[in-house]
Amino acid sequence: MPPKPTAPASPVPFLDLRKFTRWAEETATYIEVTFDMNRFPWMELGQFELFTDNKTGVWRFSSYLSKATDFEHDSSKIVVFELVGARLDMVHGGQVVIDGYIKTPESSYDRFNVPAADFDPYKNATKCATCKGEDKHLITDYIPKHNAELAALMGGRRITIRTGPRYKDDE
Ligand SMILES: [Zn+2]
């Protein structure tokens, strides 16, 4: 018997950002990346934002870090990267599917602030001394560092973003 075909190993580390992102209990977002016609899971998180200035065709994807701001009280982010060719693929049953291509960063000034799989944004966090009670929060870096190594792997790759309410049946 010929050997069974096996799924190729994923070329990209999977990032589970659910415990770091806002609204992860209410919102389920999955991102897949395509390598050689195969889709691999890349990231899972809660809330995200996707904005364009409508001039450059560049869309900025970002997700807020839960319960944290930077030292100036700007909301911290756990992931930021840019997309080109973003396209609404489908809306179905409360799910929105968007695809696009990771913009290859031309320099470290471009945004590809995607953490490593073992990154802990709270590791060097401090408690805000002024905000108390319901407003209490941590103070962290504003965004993770530019990830040049992962940017080189991911630049130009097609990704598919699926987002919607997290139903009780979801694992
Ligand atoms: Zn504060």
pLDDT tens column, 60-82:
999 999 999 999 999 999 999 99
In order, the DSSP letters of 21-47 are BTTTTTEEEEEEEEETTEEEEEEEES-
The overall average pLDDT reported for the chain is 91
Residue 170 confidence (pLDDT): 53
Decide if pLDDT at 169 tops 90: no
Q: At a CB cut-off of 8 Å and minimum separation 6, what does 125 contact? A: 68, 138, 139, 140
Quick one: DSSP state of residue 56?
S
- Rama region for 85: left / alpha / beta (φ>0; ψ in -120 to 50; rest): left
Residue 7 confidence (pLDDT): 75
pLDDT tens column, 16-68:
999 999 999 999 999 999 999 999 999 999 999 999 988 889 999 999 999 99
Tell me if residue 77 falls in helix, strand or coil.
strand
Span from the CA of 129 to the centroid of ligand 1 (angstroms): 7
Ion ligand 1 residues within 5 Å by Cβ? 128, 130-131
Span from the CA of 152 to the centroid of ligand 1 (angstroms): 36
The mean pLDDT value for 135-144 works out to: 94
Span from the CA of 76 to the centroid of ligand 1 (angstroms): 12
Chain-centroid distance, C-alpha 90: 20
Span from the CA of 63 to the centroid of ligand 1 (angstroms): 19
**Burial environment of residue 114 by CB neighbours within 10 A (0 to 12, 13 to 18, 19 or more):** buried
pLDDT tens column, 88-126:
999 998 999 999 999 988 766 667 999 999 999 999 899
Span from the CA of 64 to the centroid of ligand 1 (angstroms): 16
Decide if pLDDT at 9 tops 70: yes
Residue 75 confidence (pLDDT): 95
What is the spatial distance between Cα 156 and Cα 51, in angstroms, rounded to a whole number? 19
What is the spatial distance between Cα 62 and Cα 80, in angstroms, rounded to a whole number? 4
Domain ranges of the chain: 22-64+77-118+143-165
Read off the pTM.
Answer: 0.90
